[in-house]
Structure 1
């Protein structure tokens, strides 16, 4: 299991990111992205630092973090598998794909395997509708998912 940084380290690293980006127009989203890139998630201890640095309430910052699905409150697995659940993919069998992957990995959406190897997330359109059903593994899109590709994906995330 990965060690998490101490609260003081989170505070100081977050303050540096806020300081670097606070003068941008609309700085909150770039700051949140920077923090997630730094820590792999947006730690709870970072929220008051962001709020103070931007003269926002903690509730405002928390609201933005929870509104956008790409921000995480806790670290993801070593791999992130996103399965498209939009209508085009559903019409081409994404529900069956999701059920099979959930069964093979032993997790549901928004969960991480016990060994920390993969986090499974739903997404609502990867822009790959002509090649549905589709997924994204660690930022790489995969189209026309079938049983063979599902087995390959599961083997890759478990290795």
Structure 2
């Protein structure tokens, strides 16, 4: 019987080998790993580090620096709430507090039922439609309490 960690490392090795020839391959490799697994498993860090002649700490530092990389699986839905200045000036603090209350979770958390992961994001490019969010890659602008109620209900289905 093959150990799950070995399977993860083997799958990561294929991704690393496919992408390591690129110029500046670390970010594309991390994107590939996250696409494959839905997050960047800790078992993949040594595989990446060894292939790119980096330390585990350097790879870990990049994973934790960028907000788009996760170190745990996300929920079935991912809701990103913009926290950049334009959205803040239009009420994103209220939006964040309201959606946290509706979902019963904070940023970087997933609901117990695995329905939704809530993440902050620092600009969606929807400044003219602030406050803004993105649900499963779909942008949503001009958020208000009604929209948040609808989003909360939709992700629970």
Q: TM-score range by the shorter chain?
A: over 0.9
Deviation at 1:95, TM superposition (A): 1.0
Identify unmatched segments of 5+ residues in structure 1.
none
1:55-113 CA-partner distances (Å, limit 9, x unpaired): 11111111111111111110111100000111111111111111111111000111110
Alignment match, 1:24: 22
Aligned residues: 155
Query: What RMSD over aligned residues (CA atoms) do the two structures have, in Å?
Result: 1.0
Work out which of the residue numbers 108, 119, 122 in structure 2 matches 1:121: 119
User: What residue is the counterpart of 2:71 in the other structure?
Assistant: 73
Identify which of 36, 40, 43 aligns with 2:41: 43
Which residue in the other structure is 2:139 paired with? 141
TM-score norm. by structure 2 comes to 0.96
Instruction: Quote the Cα distance in structure 2 between the aligned partners of 1:148 and 1:126.
Output: 21
Please give the secondary structure, in 2, of the residue aligned with 1:120: strand
Which structure 1 residue ranges, 4+ long, deviate > 3 Å from structure 2? none
Q: Which moved more, 1:34-43 or 1:82-91?
A: 82-91
Q: What do residues 19-42 of structure 1 show as CA deviations (whole Å, max 9, x unaligned)?
A: 111111011110000000000000
Task: Identify unmatched segments of 5+ residues in structure 2.
Answer: none
Residues in 1 aligned to 2:135 and 2:88: alpha-carbon distance in whole angstroms: 19
SS of the equivalent of 2:74 reads coil
